[in-house]
Amino acid sequence: MTSLLPALRGASGRTDSPEAVRFGEHVLTYAQLADASASLGARIAGAGRVAVWATSTPETVVAVVAALRAGVPAVPLNPKTGEKELAHIVADSAPSVVLAGADDELPSALGGLERIDVGTAAAAPPPEAGFPEPSEESPALVVYTSGTTGPPKGAVLPRRAIAASLDALEDAWGWTGEDVLVHALPLFHVHGLILGVLGPLRRGGSVRHLGRFSAEGVARELLSGGTMLFGVPTMYHRLAGELAGPAGPGNLAKALAGARLLVSGSAALPVHDHERIAAATGRGVIERYGMTETLMNTGVRADGAPRAGTVGPPLAGVELRLVEEDGTVLRETASIGEIQVRGPNLFTGYLNRPDATAAAFTEDGFFRTGDMATIDPDGYVRIVGRKATDLIKSGGYKIGAGEIENALLEHPGVREAAVTGEPDADLGERIVAWVVPAGPGAPPGERELADHVADLLAPHKRPRVVRYLDALPRNELGKIMKRSLRA
């Protein structure tokens, strides 16, 4: 296997080194990143695992890159994690040290760990011999998934999976060292850290992190050389709203129109926002689909057609199939089935959880994603939603929550919408719409919204109950937390 981050090899000491990462005014060239990460890597070499206090700063990049170069598995920690959950992650992953910025205040759950303050300059001369390249199956990261039925599980991601996913995206998107990626995603998760930081670094390109998301920041960085934008639906929804405002036709529209790629992920981007952005900029947003355990599975290609509601075909090297509840592989892909995937992009397993690992895989090595989808005739995947929360069985029909949500968002009186099912003695499950009204006036009525959905889709897909909220509960990646709605 070649080096996971080849652009850092030989970068030490160069005076002509290109920009690697930028956080506001703080820039690290490849030479500076190579020196700082090598210096830190020498200090942690041989450690079992290291925790990284993953703030959106250059120090986090240095810490993760140092661990990767030293062959030490890194456990990114979300700084907003509560004490109980953080204590579980620390006890489960058992890191020998925590890497953090010098000014970071760490919670008591990390008090028992040795702390190393991370700097962006080399604290000692980098090792002359460098670091031996670990095997492709050696663990690179342990990323904790959101706990839905219990505490979070640590997904062990080998170097092979990271390289395979990033190289598949290189193929799909024509991603090169000339690309400048702009984003404001958190650095404790797959989207912001692996795709948003390690992706550019593997290509020899650069990343500009906004720190905090803003339309002004997006416009500024895209107009000053940015070629790609990564975001989650919440961010694109805000951009669409800015484009529709009085300042919309100005710099933001020009910036988005000039980007080579606008990529949305981590959750489905509503069709309404696709249409608003395309209408204002002439540029379509493309989507991709991945998970912590699988990294990237599908993606709309740069030379393909953006199609609202789809996440493109499987990426190179990824096998994807749809499966019925009884395990039967669907031959008619227009039917709804669970997505199962197999390929070099998969994780090794859940840390300390052989039971959960065994349950996650089929006998022939496919990972059970829990996501439900259909497949268009040309291979584009349409995700219906999560099996546990987004597949509603009502009146003998299998109904995906996503298409109802998109239909609701086409109503002018609806700003945000989520759809769930709840038990019904007659139907099995009834469709419940959770709606954030578009304005301060009287919200659209329950009958009006039900008729709106029935006219656009079908009568059996209309919501039977409408509940109004001031805001939908979302996590930091913009995903709607439907279990919170049900609670």
Q: Euclidean distance between the first and final Cα of the chain, in Å?
A: 47
Confidence bin at 270 (pLDDT 50/70/90): confident
pLDDT value of position 114? 96
- The CATH-assigned architecture of domain 6-134 is 3-Layer(aba) Sandwich (3.40)
- Do 6-134 and 391-486 fold alike per CATH? no
Tokens of 218: 């997006």
d(CA 417, CA 32): 46
CATH of 391-486, one of 3.40.50.300, 3.30.300.30, 3.40.50.1820, 3.30.429.10: 3.30.300.30
Tokens of 315: 């990426």
If you count them, how many residues does the chain have? 487
Other CB atoms closer than 10 Å to residue 146's CB: what's the count?
14
Where along the chain do its domains lie? Answer: 6-134, 391-486
Percent of the chain past pLDDT 70, that is, above it, reads: 97
Residue type, 120: T
Instruction: Quick: pLDDT tens for 70-100.
Output: 999 999 999 998 888 899 999 999 999 999 9
Nearest to 14 by CA among 26, 32, 39: 32
User: How would you classify residue 58: left for phi > 0, otherwise alpha for psi between -120 and 50, otherwise beta?
Assistant: alpha
Strand ordering across the sheet containing 74-77 = 114-118, 97-101, 50-53, 74-77, 139-144, 154-158, 349-350
pLDDT averaged over every residue in the chain: 91
Residue 477 has pLDDT above 80, yes or no: no
Phi and psi of 109, rounded to 5°?
-60, -20
d(CA 460, CA 133): 57
Q: Which residue has the tokens 């890194």?
A: 74
Residue 246 has pLDDT above 90, yes or no: no
Instruction: Quick: pLDDT tens for 180-234.
Output: 999 999 999 999 999 999 999 999 999 999 999 999 999 999 999 999 999 998 8
Nearest to 458 by CA among 466, 447, 450, 469: 450
| Region of poorest pLDDT, from 143-157, 198-212, 267-281 | 143-157
Provide the Cα torsion 139, 184, 278, 290; round to 10°.
Answer: 20
d(CA 309, CA 287): 9
